[in-house]
Amino acid sequence: MSFKLNLITLSLLAVSTSGMAANFGVGQANTTAVDTQKYECKRCTNVTGYRGEVSVAAGYNDVSDIHAGNALGTAKDGGIAAVSGDVHYQGESGYQARIQAHQLGMDNGFAHLSGGKAGLYEFSLDYDAIKTYKAGDVESGLWHNDGMLTPSDSINIFDLAQRREKIGLGFDYGQDFYGVFVNYSQEDKTGHKSASLVSPSPINFGLPTDATTKQFDAGINFSGQNWLTELSYFGSVYENHIDHLSLPYANDVYSADPDNQAHQVALSGQYNIGRTFMNGRIVTGRMIQDDNLIQMTGNPLQNWDGQVDTLDGRFALTSMVTNRFRIGGSVDYSKRDNKSSTAEFAQYNFNSLTGAFRQNTPQDIERNTYKINASYRIASGYRLQAGYDRKDVERTFSDREQTNDDNLWLKFNVRALDKVNFNLKAEHANRSGSDYEVNELTSSENNALLRKYYLADRTRNAVELKVNYSPINWMSLDISTRYAQDEYDDTQIGLTESEDYGYDANLNIAFNQHIDGYVFAGQQWINSNQAGSQSFGPADWMADVEDEFINLGAGASYSGLLQDKLTLGVDYLFSNSVSNTDVTAATTNPYGDYYSYNHSASMYADYALNEQMALKLTYRYERYFDTDAANVGVNDIPGMITLGDINHNYNAHQVMLSFTYQLR
């Protein structure tokens, strides 16, 4: 402030601020009496040069199932090695840089390099590798070569695993009132994923994947004292290098994911007047897909002009009316306008009605969402919040062209007590909409009693309670519990009811500067009921799905050994996912085993050789089991071929010794 404050203005300010929120932003500071030229910063630590750490690790993996590679960073069985590190550079003139690497040399790892002048410009270079293992040594009688799947008596053994490798470049630059950014990234995805074709009976096979996704983003922003605006562009291009697949005796039995691209231009902004803040955005986008269509009798088009135009808009506002009362709301609009060309295409049928033609149905979707919310501080540390949300959706070519969701919610937060915080949330929601009609364009033969769950009338009630308890300054306990129920009262065929409830508890202990630990436990149950009809009439069978999940963990570390040079630690995690289904027609049948569990444990000893160097020995153990009764032998089911029993049951071990060098 350029004017001098006297006692009168000071007291006026004090009175006026009782009704206004404080703003301690440095731009608001009264610096009339400040002379920063006198600041010498003699006691400050000038951290220039390099600091951080670099570590080299080598060890041994005992892996019998490649699935263990997900948890252990690599599926390699035998000797493994990796380089990690996090090094910062600080120059005298304000230039700074950072290199971070994690597990380079393993299947999963990343590297990040950035540099620039703080607050002015920065460039970045990123490398990310993620390999996801589904199953190893999968057997198939089909061999892929250049779009041809050739059956053979010799078994094709491959891994169901996909590797993503991404390289990104970024640059941003900013001055007082404006900034610009440009990012480019390219991700290659390769491997095999599980797929199936019909010829005319089903054959499960490993679909080779080899695709590239390129992304380009750029934007420019301007800002002032109480406003901010940005104009940005996001573009993404997907290229699939695998073509349609054929069998020697049947052409093009499996169409490839088509090349496609998407572009979006967004204009967004924020503005505030006093304690009222508003923001908004308009995004216009286009998705294009005009790959060549497979040429066949009954296809009138060479290539299809697939185009979807999107428009998304939003305006939101929040205002502190008084120090106790806040009110806010938002309006969202989202339109998906499918402008793709339509034509009639001959369809294969497996009954006597061969040669039927069907027209594609490009669906438009329009959403309007309105939200209002209010928050009132009843007393210091007691706050009540309430809100109402409404979402209207209109869609074409659907069994139900309009749906509307109403949602009323209430939250009560208590932070007034010394050692305990409470957060309670309750919600009541209801979905209804236009008449539910069996649409001849989408499902000419659907059961009139069916209500698809994502369109059906639904009542939802939910409640959640979170408690944080800190009885002493070295212990913190968080407990949360929740219950939600969905009822589909008008549904006779389809999903009729579901409930989801559970709890979790997390205890964290920092006993002293040498000892810390944690324990956590959580369980969740999701139960749902559905009804079906194989007589194309009223419900004549039911399915009762009961999902259950348990998650337990504990760990501790102790750093006070050998004159504080040695740190010992242990961690353990157990989780068990179960889905039990009972199908009841004339009798009740349990629908086979479907569960998975894992025990993950690790132990480490970290020894500081001196100020700069440390050695760390880590042992990791992974026990994993999953089963799905649907996974059976390759030829166990007459008339179809599967990928075999791809369930998992393994113990995996990893021992790593790492050497860390500290740069100071």
Partner 1 sequence: MKHCKFYSRLLSLLLFSSSILAVQATPWDDLSGEQLEQQLVDKFAEGKYSPKGADNCLTCHRKNETVMALFSGVHGNIASSDSPMAGLQCEACHGPQGQHNRGGKEPMIAFGADSKLSAPTQNTVCQGCHNDPEQMAWHTSTHNLEEIACADCHTIHAATDPTLDKLSVNDTCTSCHTQEKADMNKRSSHPMKWDQMTCIDCHAPHGSMSESALVKPTVNDTCYSCHAEKRGPFLWEHAPVTESCVSCHNPHGSVNDNLLDNRAPQLCQQCHAADGHASRVVPEPGMDAFGGGKSCLNCHSQIHGSNHPAGSLLQR
Instruction: Report long-range pairs for 440-444 (Cβ below 8 Å, ≥24 apart).
Output: 441/359, 441/361, 441/397, 442/361, 442/397, 442/398, 442/399, 443/399
Please report, in angstroms and rounded to a whole number, the separation of the first and last CA atoms in the chain: 41
Helix (H, G, I), strand (E, B) or coil at 524: strand
Residue closer to partner 1 (CB basis): 56 or 467:
467
Among 162, 183, 360, 485, binds partner 1 (CB under 8 A): 360
How far is the C-alpha of 373 from the C-alpha of 370, rounded, in Å? 10
How far is the C-alpha of 285 from the C-alpha of 283, rounded, in Å? 6
Does 264 bind partner 1 (CB under 8 A)? Our answer is yes
Among 274, 354, 417, 454, binds partner 1 (CB under 8 A): 454
Per the CB < 8 A criterion, the answer to whether 662 and 53 are in contact is: yes
Among 108, 140, 567, 654, binds partner 1 (CB under 8 A): 108
The nearest distance, CB 73 to partner 1, in angstroms, is 7
Binding mask 642-661 for partner 1 (x = CB under 8 A): xx------------------
* HSE value, Cβ hemisphere, 13 Å, CA-based, for 484: 19
Does 517 bind partner 1 (CB under 8 A)? Our answer is yes
Does 509 bind partner 1 (CB under 8 A)? Our answer is yes
> Which are the contacts of 418, defined by CB distance < 8 A and separation ≥ 6?
none
State the number of binding residues for partner 1 (CB under 8 A). 238
The nearest distance, CB 487 to partner 1, in angstroms, is 15
Q: Which of residues 69-98 bind partner 1 (CB under 8 A)?
A: 70-71, 73, 86, 88, 90-94, 96
The nearest distance, CB 343 to partner 1, in angstroms, is 9
Amino acid at 534: Q
- DSSP H or E segment with residue 349: none
Does 547 bind partner 1 (CB under 8 A)? Our answer is yes
Residue 536's region, left for phi above 0, alpha for psi from -120 to 50, else beta, is left
DSSP, res 513: S
Residue closer to partner 1 (CB basis): 291 or 490:
291
How far is the C-alpha of 281 from the C-alpha of 242, rounded, in Å? 38
Per the CB < 8 A criterion, the answer to whether 518 and 555 are in contact is: yes
The nearest distance, CB 514 to partner 1, in angstroms, is 9
Stretch that binds partner 1, among 58-66, 138-146, 148-156, 262-270 (CB under 8 A): 262-270
How far is the C-alpha of 144 from the C-alpha of 150, rounded, in Å? 6
Among 581, 618, 651, 662, binds partner 1 (CB under 8 A): 581
Per the CB < 8 A criterion, the answer to whether 323 and 16 are in contact is: no
Per the CB < 8 A criterion, the answer to whether 207 and 192 are in contact is: yes
Among 100, 124, 186, 407, binds partner 1 (CB under 8 A): 100
Per the CB < 8 A criterion, the answer to whether 86 and 98 are in contact is: yes
The nearest distance, CB 112 to partner 1, in angstroms, is 7
Residue closer to partner 1 (CB basis): 427 or 626:
626
Among 97, 467, 583, 605, binds partner 1 (CB under 8 A): 583
Among 569, 614, 616, 656, binds partner 1 (CB under 8 A): 569
* Phi/psi of residue 480, nearest 5 degrees: -135, 145
How far is the C-alpha of 221 from the C-alpha of 65, rounded, in Å? 50
The nearest distance, CB 11 to partner 1, in angstroms, is 9
Stretch that binds partner 1, among 140-148, 295-303, 609-617, 655-663 (CB under 8 A): 295-303
Per the CB < 8 A criterion, the answer to whether 320 and 326 are in contact is: yes
Amino acid at 145: N
The nearest distance, CB 611 to partner 1, in angstroms, is 16
Binding mask 364-393 for partner 1 (x = CB under 8 A): -x---x---x-x----xx-x-x-------x
The nearest distance, CB 490 to partner 1, in angstroms, is 14
CA dihedral angle for residue 112, residue 118, residue 120, residue 122, rounded to 10 degrees: -10
Does 197 bind partner 1 (CB under 8 A)? Our answer is yes
Residue closer to partner 1 (CB basis): 64 or 298:
298
Among 55, 61, 330, 658, binds partner 1 (CB under 8 A): 330
The nearest distance, CB 354 to partner 1, in angstroms, is 11
Stretch that binds partner 1, among 58-66, 140-148, 154-162, 444-452 (CB under 8 A): 444-452
Sign of CA dihedral 5, 10, 12, 14: positive
How far is the C-alpha of 635 from the C-alpha of 310, rounded, in Å? 46
The nearest distance, CB 229 to partner 1, in angstroms, is 9
Does 218 bind partner 1 (CB under 8 A)? Our answer is no
How far is the C-alpha of 536 from the C-alpha of 8, rounded, in Å? 84
Does 302 bind partner 1 (CB under 8 A)? Our answer is no
Stretch that binds partner 1, among 6-14, 137-145, 426-434, 611-619 (CB under 8 A): 6-14
Stretch that binds partner 1, among 153-161, 503-511, 607-615, 653-661 (CB under 8 A): 503-511
How far is the C-alpha of 433 from the C-alpha of 45, rounded, in Å? 65
Nearest to 338 by CA among 309, 361, 367: 309
Nearest to 216 by CA among 199, 195, 238: 238
Nearest to 572 by CA among 602, 616, 539: 602
Residue closer to partner 1 (CB basis): 60 or 315:
315
Among 579, 618, 651, 662, binds partner 1 (CB under 8 A): 579
The token pair that represents 250 in the structure block? 């049947």
Stretch that binds partner 1, among 153-161, 588-596, 607-615, 654-662 (CB under 8 A): 588-596
Does 352 bind partner 1 (CB under 8 A)? Our answer is no
What is the distance, to the nearest Å, from the Cα of residue 100 to the centroid of all Cα atoms in its chain? 23
Per the CB < 8 A criterion, the answer to whether 249 and 256 are in contact is: no
The nearest distance, CB 664 to partner 1, in angstroms, is 10
Does 105 bind partner 1 (CB under 8 A)? Our answer is no
Among 55, 61, 74, 310, binds partner 1 (CB under 8 A): 310
Does 489 bind partner 1 (CB under 8 A)? Our answer is no
Among 419, 536, 612, 649, binds partner 1 (CB under 8 A): 536
Residue closer to partner 1 (CB basis): 52 or 433:
52
Q: Which of residues 110-169 bind partner 1 (CB under 8 A)?
A: 110, 112, 117-120, 130, 132, 164
Among 186, 194, 485, 618, binds partner 1 (CB under 8 A): 194
Among 236, 404, 430, 432, binds partner 1 (CB under 8 A): 236
The nearest distance, CB 315 to partner 1, in angstroms, is 9
Q: Which of residues 591-610 bind partner 1 (CB under 8 A)?
A: 591-592, 594-596, 598, 600, 602
Helix segments in 2-152, DSSP class H: 7-17, 69-72
> Which are the contacts of 114, defined by CB distance < 8 A and separation ≥ 6?
97, 98, 122, 123, 124, 125
CA-to-CA separations, 304 to 290, 294, 356, 360, in angstroms, rounded? 5, 10, 20, 11
Does 24 bind partner 1 (CB under 8 A)? Our answer is yes
Residue 52's region, left for phi above 0, alpha for psi from -120 to 50, else beta, is left
Does 19 bind partner 1 (CB under 8 A)? Our answer is no
